[in-house]
Amino acid sequence: MIAYENLHDTLSFYSIDCRESYYISSGKTIFSFPEESFRMDYYALCICTSGNIHIEIDNKKYAISKHGFLISAPSTIVRFLKTSDDFRMKLLFFDKNFLLKNISDPFIIEKMNIFRETSFSIINSNENDASVLINLLEYMSKKVQKKGKYIDEIIRTIIFNILLETAEIISKKDINIENDEVKNNLFFKFNKLIRENIQHSKNVQFYAEQLFISRKYLIEVVKKACGKTPHQIIDEILLKEAYSMLGNPRLTISEIAFELQFNSVSAFGRFFKKHTNISPSEYRNSENFSN
């Protein structure tokens, strides 16, 4: 798995030299994408302006066509599959620390409810909604080129506007919004903790202790927020890690089992087969990954 450590390293794949904490693309053709799955380390908004792209996230395949968009948080694991010849997209990458400078609430983005899944949303939008986002991206691009004394503050404002417009578009899709702010904060913190510690702990009690709440209360919070148990959320994110690692032919299955804190290769195999109905080696063979 390619594990980019920061935005600059990620953009360097596309021969882009970015010294800022944000980047907006030109919308021109991209001739190549990473062949292996990789973990995003930044927030991203990708809008398809023509053609279509097929991608894989959490081992599920998605197609994004004209006016559709992907918005994702750090930790999202993406694999590019194929694009049409006329595929074009507008991209916005930004670092959370840059956006939240002087903002006291670290979960302000999560509270916008823009992520249908754990860390991303793919929306089939329409021309009118997409044009609102594209116009804001183009306005931001012009401001970046002009520079100026207050450029960072202006860019932050534009990005917040983009996120709010995105939230407005997504809210039209009848997303179930949980209004209990305290419990929402705990759920966001729980998800963040899992993404940061999944390779170290699969224990629900561990995460409850990190949040200074009881295991019973954590179960209540998670069930109310998403209808699932903490254990189910942990398994989903653990499975995502397993898929990503299995996509790296340089790692053996025993090494993956060890990295994911399983007691044995057979224990890892049972976990994987329980959730996918196939063994890790069968998955590798079906995807043409080689050891």
Set out the domains of the chain in order of their start, with CATH numbers. 7-171 (2.60.120.280), 181-286 (1.10.10.60)
Cα distances (Å, whole numbers) of residue 37 to 88, 229, 235: 21, 27, 19
Q: Which residues of 36-56 are buried (b: 16+ CB within 10 A; e: fewer)?
A: ebbbbbbbbbbbbeebebbbb
Tens digit of pLDDT per residue, the chain (291 long)? 444 444 455 556 555 556 677 777 766 555 566 667 777 778 889 999 999 999 988 778 899 999 999 998 887 888 888 888 888 888 888 888 888 887 767 677 877 878 877 788 999 889 999 999 999 999 998 888 887 788 889 999 999 999 999 999 988 764 444 445 555 678 888 988 888 888 888 999 999 999 989 999 999 988 887 788 999 999 988 888 888 888 888 889 999 999 999 999 999 999 999 988 889 998 888 776 554
Using the structure block, give the residue that is written with the tokens 């409850």. 208
The answer for residues whose C-beta is within 8 angstroms of residue 53's C-beta and 6 or more apart is 63, 64, 80, 82, 83, 84, 87, 89
Task: Say if residues 77 and 240 touch (Cβ distance below 8 Å).
Answer: yes
Across-strand partners of 89? Answer: 48
Sheet arrangement for strand 120-123: 22-24, 88-94, 43-50, 69-72, 120-123
What is the DSSP-derived secondary structure letter of residue 85?
A: T
Q: How far apart are CA 228 and CA 221, in angstroms?
A: 10
Cα–Cα distance for residue pair 246/19, rounded to 1 Å: 33
Closest C-alpha among 289, 253, 287, 285 to residue 271: 253
At 40, list the tokens: 């995003």
Q: What share of the chain is helix, strand, coil (3-state, %, to 5)?
A: 45, 15, 40
Amino acid in the structure at residue 31: F
Length of the chain measured in residues = 291
Q: What is the pLDDT of residue 136?
A: 93
